[in-house]
Copies of this chain bind each other. A is one copy, B any other.
């Protein structure tokens, strides 16, 4: 976290129209620099100037998908980590195909989704999604393991939920931090991908970066709930400001990450 604030890495996003402001805000809160750019004409140059990138298919369009692939490939050539957030994968054939196409075309450093999204990409039966909301998350660990195997272990896979599960084929991390208000905040999932990218920009072990980012979300979410809030809207403001002020010592002492 100190390294993010010191180095102020640029995080290139190709994301959706609903939570792009939230993604910019959290990137700024943690001390990194957000930029959103999705014209085919500039994504390659922009991502080369960045230290990490986020691809989020929340409000996908065909042109955006081409831009994502172009950007992801260029990032791959340059060793720039990409966090893929397959929002709504499994909800429509279009999104599902797009997510699977992205998995083939680029090599994301981290793939992050809710239980239903990752379960769908892993080919797990019985997971259920309503729009972008995981209704039946299945067994996150099984989803993670199957997706890792399908990808030949060339990525870190993270499933967010009451307990977040992160794995890279050798290690499995569970993050126990968080608060029940956090899933009520529209954009919290998208924001966690931005946070992962900010951490991956300064920590080459993407497994640790992903786990630390989810722990930072959770710790800030816990602290933000300590003082009374009027509801999810005020909580979101408080959460972003808590993350802004979160000091590394407090983060370390409160993070509850179990690695096996």
Taking beta carbons and an 8 Å cutoff, which residues of A are in contact with B? 8, 10, 12, 16-22, 24-25, 28-29, 33-39, 41-42, 45-46, 49-50, 58-63, 88, 91-95, 130-133, 184, 186-187, 229-234, 236-238, 240-242, 244-245
> Do residues B94 and A45 form an inter-chain contact, with CB atoms below 8 A?
yes
Residues on B with beta carbons closer than 8 Å to the beta carbon of A36: 16-18, 58-59
Nearest residue in B to A45 (C-beta to C-beta)?
Answer: B92
9 extra A-B contacts, CB within 8 A, seeds A21-B186, A234-B241: A8-B130, A29-B233, A37-B95, A38-B61, A39-B60, A41-B92, A42-B95, A184-B244, A230-B238
Taking the closest CB of chain B, its distance from the CB of A42, in whole angstroms, is 4
Q: Can you pick out 6 interface pairs between chain A and chain B where the beta carbons lie within 8 Å of each other?
A: A18-B24, A28-B184, A36-B59, A230-B238, A233-B244, A234-B238
> Do residues B24 and A21 form an inter-chain contact, with CB atoms below 8 A?
no
> Do residues B18 and A88 form an inter-chain contact, with CB atoms below 8 A?
no
Contact of A49 among B22, B25, B131, B245 (CB under 8 A): B131
Bound-state Cα–Cα, A258 to B130, Å: 36
Contact of A241 among B10, B29, B62, B230 (CB under 8 A): B230
